Structure 1
Amino acid sequence: MRFKYFDLVRYGKFTDRRLEFPQARRDFHMVVGPNEAGKSTLRQAVSDLLFGFPVRTPLDFLHPKNEMRLGAWLEHAGESLEFHRTKGNKNTLRDMDNTPLPDTVLDPYLGTATGIFFDKMFGLDHPRLVQGGNDMLKAQDDVGQVLFQAAAGVASLGRVYEALQAEAALLWAPKKSKDRQWYVAQTQLDEANAALKAVTVRTREWAEAHKQVQDSQDAAHALREQHMQLLARRTKLERIRRLAPKATELAESENSLQALGPVTELPVDALAMLSKAELELARAEQRLAIHGLEEGRLKQALADIHIDDALLALAADIESLEALRHRYGMHAQNIERYQGEAASLWKDATDAALQLGWPVPEQGLTADATQVESVLSAMQERLPALPVRRHIKQLLSDHSGLVQAVQNSAKAMLSRQAEIDTVKARLAALPVIHPQPALRVTLEQAIALGNPETAADKASAVVNKAQAELEHAMAGLGVAGKTVAELIALRVPSVPALSRLTAQRQELQADLKMAQTRHNELTGAVQEKELAILQYKQLHHPITRNDVLQVREQRDQAWGAIYSGEVTLAVGAQVFEQSLGRADQLADARLDNVQEAAELQNRQHQLENEMQRRDHAQVLCLAQAAKLQEFEAHWTELCQGLGLPAMSLEQLADWLAQKDRVLSAASSLASAQRDQGGLAARHAQLVSDLRQALQAAGLAVDEASSLSALRMQASDYVSEAEKAKVLRTALSDQLSEAQPILAALEQAADSTQERLDSWSRDWALALERAGLPADTEIAVVQGALALMEVVAEKLQLIRQRRVEHIDVMRSELDGFAAMAGRLARALYGGEPVGDAAQISHDLSARLLSARQAQKQAADVGQELAHVQSQLRLAHEAIQLAGASLQPLMQQAGVAEKDQLRPAIVCSDRHRELAQAIASVQAELLKDGDGYTREQIQAEIDEADLAQLAAELDALHADINFATAEQTRVAVELADAVRRLDGISGTDAAARAESQRQEALSGMADAAERYVKVFTAARLLRWSIDRYREEKQGPMLARAGAVFSQLTLGSFERLAVDFDRDPMVLEGLRADGAKVGIGGLSDGTRDQLYLALRLAALELHLGQAAPLPFIADDLFINYDDARARAGLQALAALSEQTQVIFLSHHDHLADVARSVFGAEMNVLML
């Protein structure tokens, strides 16, 4: 069975989402989406569609439970089914017309699979993969348990088996214990029997006691009636006393409200609004006076500040000079220190040279630079070359290893020869069993047939179902009077042609939508560019070349007027000076803001490019719309030419699909009838062939044996042969692997000896190149090498001190002095006075003063701007306060602000009275016990309020007396009842019998549960052992191949250690090394579990109907190479059943295409 498509109609976060799964040779489909995209939801949806929604589901957060719906198109063995499943208690399967379908409609597609079996066998995610690997680690000492739980997808079988045994021990065991449930219940039974024997039954006369109880009950009833009457009277008097003041208050409030007359109602907060406005006016006027004085003071302070602009222009150079002064301050002392270090290093080098017997120059490092360089070069020439020294060190390092390798090679050859002799002895002792091929073929055919009776019933059900489906499909087609042959001859567009037309129309619509989207995006981009340019101009105010040319022209005109004599020097000098300063200032500002000007030009160019692309996108929109109109006209002409009724392209697709379902149902009916006819003949032939094959193998066969009995007998025989074959193959493999290893060890021993001889020759040659005698001891050579390294190291350090430190510091000091002189000449106008450090210190002090003046001017300007903004806010507050009172004055009908307050007071008084009246009325209704105001007033009028208190006191006394009498009679009645109960006996015997029955029930429950638990543990152990016996050979062979593929050849195959009890599963590397499950890494153990699951699934698919395999993020921790290997393993599985792979890594799509090809189906969530 496979999905052609899957509909998430109303499920979880999805609404009307369809996932298409087209047929391919390798039925593999990849669904990619980020986290929280709905991949786990899709996996749960598959199970809910095939096996029904659970009673409670967390996926109803968007759609109500009664609206949840899933759909799919299933394909299997040439048959197909389109259906929906809804959330409900019955009739949850529906066809595409929402007609209920029987619950058995999915049986031909699902077979005997259940929801739990499908989830464990055909579903695998990363957490379950990791859990499976961990469970294999816990069960590593039992190969049967490892195979069974990996194949069945059942995790933690060991814990289940141990839990069953532990529970059985707590229920019953031959040895008595107080903690076991059976013996606890037995103790309770003994105690109940003893209590039952101790209970005796008593009987006496009770007529007198019974009459006394009846008299007390009658007296109690009479007293209750009297007490109720007194309580009713007290309630009425209390109501009158409680409500009389409120009724008086209500009348007074109503009279006061009438006395006010008509009143204009103003807002509740009118008085607060008036007070707030008056307060705002006073505050604003005060702020206006204060901030006016502060504005004048700040303007005068800003005019008194002087800023040295020339010094600030060179601020960066002055700061750099000062930083260099601090950085180079210790250079003179450091130069002397490094010279001393070089002299010390030279002494160490000469001491080592003297120990080597080399001549040492008399002059040291105190001479001039040329002589020092000559001395260092002479010492360097005495040293052997660095490759020679390194070669001698390497030879010293290799010597001990070569000697040890020769000894190890000899030991390894002896050990491998002993292992080969042991394996040969075990092979000679194995028996040889060869089942005939005819027996294997007949057995496979019998297994494939399944249960004969079930197969016959299923064939009959398939025929009936096919006939019903054909009738249902003909009814859904809506073509009355036509036969199947007429439908076949009907000339209609083919499905591929219709698909091409649909795809062409969808492509045109998508192109038009894409063009419109592109045009809208480009239009928005143009608007964003224009706004960005406007905001950039407002923010940076870039100065262009035209601005500079304009002020320069004004400067030249002022100078020309002075030069030509149009104006005198006294008059024109000030104008010319201002124009000159303005021109220089703009030129400097343009140089400083050249980056902003360039950025503005760049943004304008980008705007022009975006406008050109927008115009081009608009032309594409018009062209795509014309193509879509042309396609619609062509489709109308095509329908008329084929003689089809006028219908849309989408409607024709549904009609053709229904027609194909009719033809498919007819074909299925004919095929089912042929299969039913041939099933009986096939069953009889298999019985005959299997009996003959068993007899040919020398086995005794009962002539009356059924096909099931013959099949089990043949399976046991073949299983025994497979066990012997697997063990022989394993031993042969060990022998084949050990013999080449022995030969390799012999070659390695020879090679090691040759390497030792070669070392001796290289050693003599290396000593000669180093200038050492050939017979020099190894220890002496090591000492000489150490002294040579000391000389080389000291010479290197001397050169490093001279080149990297002393010369560099002298160069930096010269550069610092040059920079200080340049800055002093630029600011003082002459040659500098003093050294460079003093110049740097003076300039830094002047720069600090100039910056403080600049900061002071900025702070005063900022404070002035703040004061001016406060003045504007004060004026605005005065205007707002006056405007806020205008609505109230208009509503109150007054012209002056002083007239508004009395009107507000009158309105508030009217509101208070109305609220008081409403409150009292509500209290009357609340406390009036359901009486109306008129009824309450009538009771008050009838009552004598002056005598009300005395009447209530007397009534309280009567009620208290009646209560005391009731209490007395109740005590007497309780005593009489207690005496009567005592005479009638107790229930001690009943309680004892009840405890006895409870104990018997506990013993029965413990026995029943013990039988179930003990049987379950035995069945689980038997299932594990039988699965190992039947599936171990073929499953391990296939799992080993998959495991080798997943580990990229790191492991060659899987093997079983038959010498251990129970047998242990191990991984075999290419070099013959065996690694148990406990020795595998976490990732490799997960790959082993995946290999076993895939192998078990392939074996299952060979015996049962295929179902889709759902893989959820299996390769989350794999690199690309191992992920590709895992996908190749899934590719082999996809040739047997549909594989749907879920992942949130989009880069795996490219890896999957390299395995399945570019045409692989990828769905994005």
Structure 2
Amino acid sequence: MRFNRLDLVRYGKFTDRRIEFPDARCDFHMVVGPNEAGKSTLRQAFFDLLFGFHARTPLDFLHAKSELRIAAAIKHDAGTLEFQRVKGNKNTLRAADDTPLPDTLLENILGTTSSEFFDKMFGLDHPRLVQGGNDMLKAQDDVGQVLFQAAAGVAGLGKVYEALQAEASSLWAPKKSRDRLWYSAQAQLDEANAALKAATVRTREWSEANERVQDLQDAAHAERERHQTLLIRRTQLERVRRLAPSLTSLIEYERALNELGAVIELPADAGAILASAELELAKTEQRLATHGVEAARLDNVLAGISFDRAILDARSEIENLEVLRHRYGAHAQNIQRYEGEVEALWKDAVDAATQLGWPSDLVGLQERLPSAPCRRHVEQLLHEHSSVVQALESSQRAVQARQAEIDTLSARLANLSVLDITPALRAALHDAMTLGEPEAAIRKADENVSAAQEELDRAMQAMGSGFTDLSHLAAVQAPSSQTVAGLVSQRLELLSDLKTANARYVEIENIVQERELAIRQYRQMHHPITKEDVWLARQQRNDSWQALRNGDVALAVGGPPFQQHMQYADEVADARLDNVQEAAELQSRQHQLESELLKREHAEKQCQALNAKLRRFDENWSGTCRDLGLPEMPVNQLADWLTQKDSALDAAYRLTAASQELETVLARQSEIRTSLRGALMATGLSVGEASSISVLRIQANDYVGASETGKARRDALTDQLAEARSMLLNLQQTTNAALSNMEQWQQDWSTALRKAGLPDDSQVASAESALSLMELISVKLQQIRQRRVEHIDVMRNELSVFADSAERLASLLAATERGGDPVQISRNLNARLTAARQAQEYAASVGQELDHIRQQIREAQDAILLAGASVRPLLEQSGSPDKESLRKAISRSDRYRSLVEIISATVARLLELGDGYTREQIQAEIEATDLTQLAAEMETLNADITLAASEQTRLAVELAAAVRDFDAISGTDVAARAEAKRQEALAQMANAAERYIKVYTAARLLRWSIDRYREQKQGPMLSRAGEIFSQLTEGSFERLAVDFDREPMVLEGVRSNGSRVAIAGLSDGTRDQLYLALRLAALDLHLQKAKPLPFIADDLFINYDDARARAGLQALATLSQHTQVIFLSHHDHLVDTAKSVFGKDMNIVLL
């Protein structure tokens, strides 16, 4: 199947975009576009067209999902088909007229190909190319895995196999480890059994333990009460010791307060107020006297100051006049300097005018000087003169050179001869070129036959002597791989059950032996009397008595034995009554032994049943092998035998194919040799009768090369001659245009000279010199005008305004300098202004200081009044007539306040540290205690408390141990928990066994599939992949080989010198090329047995240089002869490379 056309009606960024894929010998199509041009969208379109839209396709960013539509025209074995694919839940296939088509329409064309298989086998892009190379590196020691991954396009197969092996190892392995789930569960089972055995309760031990717990609890309670009493007494003594000093101090403070008597309470800061008022009053009186003297002095100074107020009123005008004096001070000198510059400029202008023959007066110069536009026009023509002359001369030289070239080419073309090539010779040479290396092809085909025969012999030898006939071997009907896997899994499950049952039997047998040993040891240690022992002693006594009573034995003879038997029976009965506890324990142990014996019997029966079941399975399998004609073998060896069988049949098929290929090669080469030899002889060449195809091909290539070289040379000379004649015509036109430009310049030059006042016959150099002098005169006149107008006239006006202002101010202020120098007037007025300003500032400063002194005098008077007012309330409150009496009243008030505060603080401290007691209770407790014996009593009490605490600790430890022992035998859920853990461990072991069988079987099947693929496909696939790999690496590697001496076998690249390089030794780019070679070889083998489908390649050669990219395209060219190849790329430089491989007519689609 191939695509003839693809219509992106509404899909992704495309709307009504049609892409044609015309049929050709090499069915290769290149789609080129920049990034985000839509190549990835186009690649996805092929998948959506063939297999339907994804439910959540992201390509609805421009068109709604319901509007997405793709159309195509495809060619297949039955003809052509045009259809459409729309987005929907059903009826997504439509005819060209939009009528629904059945969804199964494409199944006949695609066969069993699914979307996943199509993507892996017929699709390849750069990321998957890199990923495939990396996966080959990880699986470098496993040839089967490398081939399987590359052929199937499956990445990460090694990770899957390793994960299965790792999971199986984590479940079970022959080596015991707690990290494995089976052995972990087994250890948990052993712990649960041990806990279950230990969970036994005895009456006497329970009573003793309970009684001990009660006794220890009573003792601990009594000791805690005694300890509490001692702590209370120590707390009381510590309180007395802590509070006795404070209570004594409190009594002394209260006595002092009573002795003080009645006191008038004054404010707490009364003393500070009195001292502050006295201090402030003394300082204020001193300041008042000092300020009065200073105020009188300042009044005298202020009366003696005077200044000129008229000068101060004209202050701004005087200051402005002074500014102008400084600004215009250099004007007189500048005016003289500018007048000198004007004279020098005028001299330069007169000199230039003299050279031109012009008048030397200003008016005459201005009349004779041309205007600026006129001078610019002459200057422009001067600049154009050299370019016009140069263009004319260069065009004339070019015409002469081109004419000489045309004459030379015409002579060479007339002397050239060309050979003709017949179509028959071209066809025969093309067929011979398609053979490649004929001798190598024959050797290779013969080697393939030999290799196939050897492979068949090895495969038949591996089958054994029972199978020598291939037809018999092919007729064998073996079970399917699923059936084999099920049988292997079933037998593994039986073996696992049998192993588990045997382990269980061994475990129970060990328990029985342990029980029997424990009973023997118990008998030896305690000698318990059982009920059977009492019955046996009594039976002997009864037998002796019966013999005496019946007269069977005489009294003298039977009397002593009877007496011994009766005494022994009484002793045994008494001993049993005395040792009833040991007898019960022995009986319990015997019951446990009987239970374990019953379990052993059950486990033994289970082992026998499983052994019988396994034997029946093996017998049934042997019968199945006989029925199917298979050799008898274990079922787990059947998969390997089937692989050998398939290898033998495949080897036979390859032998037949290799033989047919050898015959085809020989016939094809003979036919091509005959036709090529005849075509060469028809051209008149001498051809040997026994010449090989290679010799004939060389002769034909030389002849064709000579002919093509002659034709190419003739075509090149013809093209050059036509191009030279065309260029000569253009050059002649250019020369005529240059002559026209020269004539026009001459006319413009004469006109410009007349306007400039220059002679018509003036040369370019003289005109250029005259133009320079005119420009100099214009510049000098402009500079003279600028200095007179912008500088000299302006400064004279400014000096006149300054003199007028100075005279006006002098008249206004009655200055003596009127009519004098304005500069001196300005200086004198500024000096008078400075003196008046200084006098005014001094008077203001003295006035401010006098105001400040007067303000301080008023503040001192207010402070004297305020100090007296602050003391008056204290005098009235204390009833004191003067300040001395007030000072004594303040002292008594402060003493009273201090005692009250101390007493309050002491009482508060007593209550705070008195543990909630009142003052009266504390005082009574202290008075009742002998303080002299307090220290000795405290020491004795602390020793008693320490002993009580130690005793409490000892009793607590013993009580905890007793409670722990009691809890251990008081009917806890230990046995239930142990049984639950036991069942949980059994369930875990069962789950681990079931999961291990599944994982182990899956790993074996995957390994078997990989090995089978390697054995079936390794030969032809490696051969084809080696050819492609050699082509991709430009001969750097000659072929691919397998190192059979390594285990597992290793895939290696063989260089031309015979050296081998493993996958790990390849560079990243070369490893990608190896993966591409394996994929193309696998696809080639697949196309030999299946219907061809288009191969979609996306940017495979991103990291390739031009040479290797060409080699890759050549490999795709070979593939395109068997199936359609659509190559997507965003590298437009590959277009030229592709054209060199596929020809200029190859189909290129630009996005």
TM-score, normalized by length of structure 1?
Answer: 0.35
Structure whose CA Rg is larger: 2
